[in-house]
Structure 1
């Protein structure tokens, strides 16, 4: 084996493990499939040994290899590290659902920072106050299940609390899209019981389970409304395509640094209010219903001050 071949092989193993734990069989298969490196398990052990000697902690657990820590340090400057780590650590202690995940991310960030930068962070720590957007908080497992069901076009059964009736009951719906608007996740779904499309607040879903029943998404997606929005350079840098709550939205960068984002939306009401909050940094170009609703919203707002 040439020295260059050994180097490429070692770096390829590091890349794969940086994406998550993998079995030896999977590592060998990906080395062949993605990098054209056909090696046996003995050579793989040499690659892993070289990484360990270089300071990468690789643990063998449940038949898989896992990259636990790395000697590589993030090139954050002192104030970048101060902002990022202070935010993660202060919010982790307040967030009831994602707190554990935030604390884990903060620990990994600490281990990745150079010692001098870390000392600066601990001397100048900033506390961030968190005001939860949802009460009760959203359950990440519910959100994951909803997204999977919408992607697979599978019906769900959910235990939902309705504000209008003041009651919780089980409902079977066909999920069309999960999106975020006005600081909360929402489910847009077809309700066969009422033969209507409805919006459900995710934090009011107590339990959810995927059913084996499949549905055809074509009729549902026709109910979505087209949206086309122009963003100036700063707004595009801050929000990207997520100004339109559509996972399939497309971006057309312009020569002057601005961009046009195009997609479809489930709820024009919330989309109008999210875009209006961007002020002159955004302009609605289409579709027709979104543009008309946006203009109507601006007229009504202006009348409040006339």
Structure 2
């Protein structure tokens, strides 16, 4: 089937958006046209404002360069709604998310615009108690440093609210359970560290490249899971629950992998921890009355006090 020129231009734009670089002969084959037609169509896209660059090589090729603004996006219904919900989930309903949604809807066809606008106008994002909003600028600097393998320095707010200066080799950025983490090798500590992105301030590349080291856990997601599971908290208990692990996991707002371990098909152990006593109480209550708790005498005594107070209210 021969495409009309407008349809062919949209198809060409879609191909350029989907891959970093294309040979001219590949594009001609995909579009079912000659190399000369591809060159003419690339010229038409440039006239429309799309930054299509020519690439060097045996046969020559093309790529869509990054400009100041996004080109019109070719999205299906589900992709468009997924982008909108991801923006709201990550950035909330604040100014940055609002601007981004507005720009996205402007370059969408009317049908998609109505669907995405409905999400933006109808959804209110309530941050999780343990979640934290991230600064898109901070995330962008870290992601670029990971990609370019450049050492970065930044100020980091520790759990006790003291600030420290860090200089690290960034390995990966990982999103897990409402939080974002930077896995990096701390050159001063000479060891691997996992940093919460929302606690990182003023990151900047020092313009020095590094050779990536092998991550101890191999997989970045597994590395973060192990780090979180072994992190000490101010308030912590260990519980034995007479229910399957999956049933317990479904009730906990933040069921961190590695903290719920099955004993058998009908019971499990749960390691709970939090920086505030109130959050620990919330999770203990979610375990149900059959849970048996172990922990420091001080924490267990405070939990018993809460239990007595709740009983008195009934």
TM class by smaller structure: 0.5 to 0.7
Q: How many residues align?
A: 232
User: What SS does the aligned partner of 1:97 have?
Assistant: helix
Alpha carbons 1:9, 1:47 under 8 Å: kept: no
1:191 and 2:179 equivalent?
Answer: no
Structure 1: give runs of 5+ residues left out of the alignment: 50-57, 227-244, 247-263, 283-289
Taking the TM superposition and a 5 Å limit, the aligned residue runs for 1:107-256 are: 107-109=106-108, 111-113=110-112, 118=114, 127-132=122-127, 137-164=133-160, 166-167=162-163, 169-219=164-214, 221=215, 223-224=216-217, 246=221
Residue in structure 1 matched with residue 284 of structure 2 by the alignment = none
User: What SS does the aligned partner of 1:180 have?
Assistant: strand
**Alpha-carbon separation, structure 1, partners of 2:246 and 2:72:** 44
Alpha carbons 2:149, 2:169 under 8 Å: kept: yes
Q: TM-score, normalised by structure 2?
A: 0.52
1:101 and 2:96 equivalent?
Answer: no
Alpha carbons 2:50, 2:71 under 8 Å: kept: no
Question: For each residue in 1:170-208, what CA deviation from the matched residue of structure 2 results, as whole angstroms up to 9, or x when unmatched?
Answer: 421011221012201111211111222222111122222
1:7 and 2:3 equivalent?
Answer: yes
1:44 and 2:40 equivalent?
Answer: yes
**Alpha-carbon separation, structure 1, partners of 2:7 and 2:178:** 41
Residue in structure 1 matched with residue 276 of structure 2 by the alignment = none
Residue in structure 2 matched with residue 299 of structure 1 by the alignment = 269
1:31 and 2:27 equivalent?
Answer: yes
Q: Pick the aligned partner of 2:49 from 36, 61, 72.
A: 61
| Cα separation, partners in 2 of 1:85 and 1:13, compared to 1, 3 Å | closer
Superposed CA RMSD in Å reads 5.3
**Alpha-carbon separation, structure 1, partners of 2:260 and 2:182:** 21
Give the structure with higher Rg (CA): 2
Q: TM-score, normalised by structure 1?
A: 0.53
Alpha carbons 2:73, 2:108 under 8 Å: kept: no
Structure 2: give runs of 5+ residues left out of the alignment: 53-63, 65-69, 232-244, 250-256, 272-286, 293-314
